[in-house]
Structure 1
Amino acid sequence: MAAEIKTEYPDKKVVLIHSRIGLADPELLPSVRQEAKEVLLQKGVELLLGHKVSDLTELQLNVTQKNTVVTTDKGERLTTDLIICCTGLKINSAAYASSFSGSLADNGALKVNAHLQVQGFSNVFAVGDCADVNEPKMAYHAGLHAGVAVTNIANSLSGKELTSYRTGNVTMLLAMGYNDGVGQFNGMKLPRCLVALGKSRDLLLWKSWREMEQKQP
């Protein structure tokens, strides 16, 4: 998001505070993660890596508030007008924790077998973030899960053999403003211009419209 803001508002000072030294998903190629850092620096984003915001719970997020002071765990103090928290969310298991208590992983996801069946159940499937599959959590993967689950529901009703879900080499496209991006496909680093052309310009909205069988306005 830092890259997007800096792209749209190049005159604004943007500081990214990140608890790790390395950016992006750890499963990405080191060269891709390094390139993400380089893009941010080229766009003028200031990086404060290896820091955590120590007073995050006391701060107002996503609203403009002049001269707000942000303090990190290493003593850095920043004065800002807007704070956007992008730390991600933990899995919300409230909807199923009581009914599937014996099938929960430590992180609250549902343990599944190769067919994405919830552990201990032949007629319950889990897809997306709530499926305990060892891979980056992305909408792209959730779509792949859904395809396997739908096929297996149909196969189980007709007595056919179930399909297995297999994780492959990591594929991830990171939009960094409408005019830039980094990523990899099937374990290979992609040129920045290709990511910008393929995803960053419209965030693959055309794909969503096509899958919904709707005409894009």
Structure 2
Amino acid sequence: MLSGAGISAESGIKTFRDYNGLWENYRIEDVASPEGFARNPKLVLDFYNARRRQLKEVEPNEAHKILAELENHFDVHIITQNVDDLHERGGSTKIIHLHGELRKARSSSDENEILDWEEDIIIGNLHSDGSQLRPHIVWFGEMVPEMDNAIKIASEADLFLVIGTSMQVYPAASVIRYAPRHCEIFVIDPNLENPNSFTKNENYIKSSATEGMKQLKEILIKKYT
């Protein structure tokens, strides 16, 4: 399944694209690009420090927990665009973070040198290779290291769920194209434009993540178990 900001929004995490969302007071190129980090690393670190601190104030919601419960019936793999850890805390065990993780930091000179990190990252926090630590976030213009793993999972799916994502952020939105022809696709989102381009009308649940997952859990267990 592919999840986006909509599932985390119900836990109180601001999304990027909604009105009064995270981008309201920042330019994308200033806080989510390698060039922005080079120009003003403190601004970028402060932006993600605030988001990391917010994780301590929010909890997984019912949609996260239902996804974890489905592991009792299905081999559930989650491909998420979200950088929070709410899927993990909700109980899911097989998760790929396409866009990185807030609770990790990495070397600014080697993307493969990744550390667990709970507190603020400040100027002067160095990796053992001597480089300034930066958030373990995939910024605009950077490669998506987990994309190949996500494609492999999608290509082997019998069921594919899309939840809480606008399907406008690439390459993440292209993952669904790799689902096999026999794969049944379900979409949960209250606002998605043209959902029928991804799934049959009867498989589109026009709902919030939590309410949609309650409905979908019943459908999946009744139909496939």
TM-score (norm 1): 0.31
Higher radius of gyration, 1 or 2? 1
TM-score (norm 2): 0.30
Structure with the bigger RCO (C-alpha within 8 Å, sep 6+) is: 2
